[in-house]
Amino acid sequence: MNIKKITSLAQNAKSRSIVSLFDHKDRANDFSLSTPYLYLDYSKQNINEVELGKLVEIANEAGLSESITNQFNGDKINNTEERSVLHTVLRAPKEIKKRVLGEKLAGEVEAAELQMLNIVNDVQNGILTSQSGQRFTDVLAIGIGGSYYGVKVSLSALEHYRDLSLAVHVIANVDGGALEEKLKKLNPDTTLVVVISKTFTTQETLLNAKAVKQWMLSCASVKGSQVHNTAAIIEKQWFAVSSNIEAAKSFGINEKHILPMWDWVGGRFSLWSTVGLPLALAIGNENFSKLKQGAHEMDVHFKSADFKNNMPVIMALLGIWNRNALEYPTLAILPYAHSLRALPGYLQQTDMESNGKSVSREGDKLTWLTAPVVFGQEGTNGQHAFMQLMHQSDDIIPTDFIVALKGRSQYTENHKVLVANCFAQSEALMQGKTLAQVKTELFDSGCSLEEVERLAPHKTMKGNTPSNTLVMESLTPETIGSLLALYEHKIFVQGVIWQVNSFDQWGVELGKQLGARVLAAMDGGENDMLSASSQSLIARFKADSTVRN
């Protein structure tokens, strides 16, 4: 990346007010874009047409067009794992699947899709029942990271589409408290379990799966009379999604209930695959297919629109501008929709696990920073929490506001207020309030000179915080599919320009290795590879657990 070009461009922007950019009369119109399901207003970003043009040049110099083609064609762009990155093909029409994957693999994908479709239909129609012959009332999906976030975010985003006779729950954390909380709500006789793990080796998922299996088996044996064959309950009620079929089988899952995954689908991009099973059980096959269709529409837009009119590309360039030119280290994701409450967590993984790197694809140390720290929560809650800092600290936090024009609840007045708050916050973050404005307000409200001087600095807001506002008509499977695909592509484009491999995640390995070592030390094994700090923490845990036992 030509970092010098970017930083030299930024000199002017650093001292410029965003409000002044609105002297350009048609800015709101010129700095906005539409796709079939989304509208992006980026006019509140601190950027002008010339600067944006230069960023497009940088994208061209980075070979973005070629990289997009390579990704969609299935080149092994995940070079450290020698894998293609083809989640997009899973939401594409049959002919594209055949062209990109070849007849044989496309056939396997279609067979897996059909298997999933049939499971969903059979559960919904009561053909697939529990061991005791009852209809399923609950689904418990066990997975973590990419085998969890995509399902979680879409389950809540599409809660209005859910089949109310079947409650779908997800569990990720290895904390036994989280598991207990879930199991309390479930009836083992009528719960379908799906273990989602691409590798089927992930510690947290396997431990949770073992605990749930134990719970189900022990409940079944207590009730003996109702459930004739305790082991058969696992065979009948358990499903797995994995690329490690053998491991899923040795866990005890019926081979016919194992849905395949492929190594060319990265965990954090896997919602579109069989990983989507719990979601499809919740919203039905038709809605699941609409979700994929919405994502596919974004793929088509991404592949065909010129960069200046390309929503993922523009969002990626603005992110690079904020991160590398204006040097803002964070990104706030603020969905003004309770149904999108899981979006910040989902994007933390997709963005930070993909681009949180510091060497190039070739392994050279980068001389620029990459992914921002992503955080956020649903509006308006954030306004009464961390947004104080966004308004008044010296840190500038670029923000993505996300809002639906139509609400889903009967409380239309609430929805109007929600949307008003969303629009007002982006305005407040941009405009701020100067000392002079505050003083005038205080004088006008009858404050004495002394009070004005004392209070004015505390009421001043820095403003000049850039933001995007992403607007959708309402939360539907299509809009959610498009929204998730938009961010996937944005992250990909940034990875290309930052020159990182966005599709590996070696950083999480050290924690896994040390986790195993700490666990061994807790069980009395060697601990001399660990620091004195960790050794003393382990000793404290051991002493305490002796007391507890």
Question: Distance between alpha carbon 424 and the CA centroid of its chain, in Å?
Answer: 26
Instruction: Provide the residue type at 6 as one letter.
Output: I
Is residue 338 part of the annotated active site? The answer reads: no
**Tokens standing for residue 57:** 């040049």
User: Of 285, 291, 274, 275, nearest to 151 (Cα)?
Assistant: 275
CB of 513 to ligand F6P, least distance (A): 13
The half-sphere exposure of 73 on its side-chain side, counting CA atoms within 13 A, is 7
Nearer to ligand F6P, 37 or 503 (CB): 503
Strand partners, 260: 242
CB of 236 to ligand F6P, least distance (A): 24
CB of 4 to ligand F6P, least distance (A): 34
Nearer to ligand F6P, 268 or 323 (CB): 268
Q: What angle do CA 391, 396, 398 make, to 5 degrees?
A: 100
CB of 189 to ligand F6P, least distance (A): 28
Residues with Cβ within 8 Å of residue 449, at least 6 apart in sequence: none
What letter would DSSP give residue 268? G
Q: What are residue 2's phi and psi, to 5 degrees?
A: -80, 85
Nearer to ligand F6P, 231 or 514 (CB): 514
86/96 Cα distance (integer angstroms): 11
CB of 80 to ligand F6P, least distance (A): 13
Is residue 204 part of the annotated active site? The answer reads: no
For the stretch 228-237, contacts whose Cβ atoms lie closer than 8 Å and that sit 24 or more positions apart, written own/partner, are 228/131, 229/131, 232/131, 233/130, 233/131, 233/188, 236/130, 236/131, 237/130, 237/131, 237/136, 237/191, 237/192, 237/193
Q: What are residue 487's phi and psi, to 5 degrees?
A: -70, -35
170/166 Cα distance (integer angstroms): 13
Nearer to ligand F6P, 267 or 477 (CB): 267
Nearer to ligand F6P, 145 or 260 (CB): 145
Q: Which of 113, 204, 353, 488 is catalytic?
A: 353
98/89 Cα distance (integer angstroms): 9
Asked if 430 and 463 touch (Cβ cutoff 8 Å), the reply is yes
Q: Which of 184, 365, 384, 458 is catalytic?
A: 384
Nearer to ligand F6P, 143 or 372 (CB): 143
244/247 Cα distance (integer angstroms): 6
Residues with Cβ within 8 Å of residue 72, at least 6 apart in sequence: 88, 89, 100, 299, 303
Tell me which residue has its CB nearest to ligand F6P.
267
**Tokens standing for residue 25:** 């009369």
Instruction: Provide the residue type at 517 as one letter.
Output: R
Is residue 110 part of the annotated active site? The answer reads: no
Nearer to ligand F6P, 189 or 488 (CB): 488
Nearer to ligand F6P, 2 or 356 (CB): 356
3-state secondary structure of 158: coil
Nearer to ligand F6P, 220 or 248 (CB): 248
Q: Distance of CA 466 to CAs 164, 455, 498, Å?
A: 41, 27, 21
Nearer to ligand F6P, 199 or 392 (CB): 199
CB of 501 to ligand F6P, least distance (A): 13
DSSP element (H, E) containing 237: helix 230-237
Placement of tokens 């919904």 in the chain: 124
CB of 268 to ligand F6P, least distance (A): 6
Pairing of strands 258-260, 32-34: unpaired
Q: Which of 160, 223, 406, 512 is catalytic?
A: 512
Residues with Cβ within 8 Å of residue 497, at least 6 apart in sequence: 1, 58, 59, 62, 64, 316, 317, 320
CB of 202 to ligand F6P, least distance (A): 3
CB of 348 to ligand F6P, least distance (A): 11
Residues that bind ligand F6P (CB under 6 A): 144-147, 197-199, 202, 205, 267-268, 353, 505, 508
526/354 Cα distance (integer angstroms): 34
**Tokens standing for residue 79:** 């070079």
CB of 67 to ligand F6P, least distance (A): 21
302/38 Cα distance (integer angstroms): 13
Active site residues: 353, 384, 512
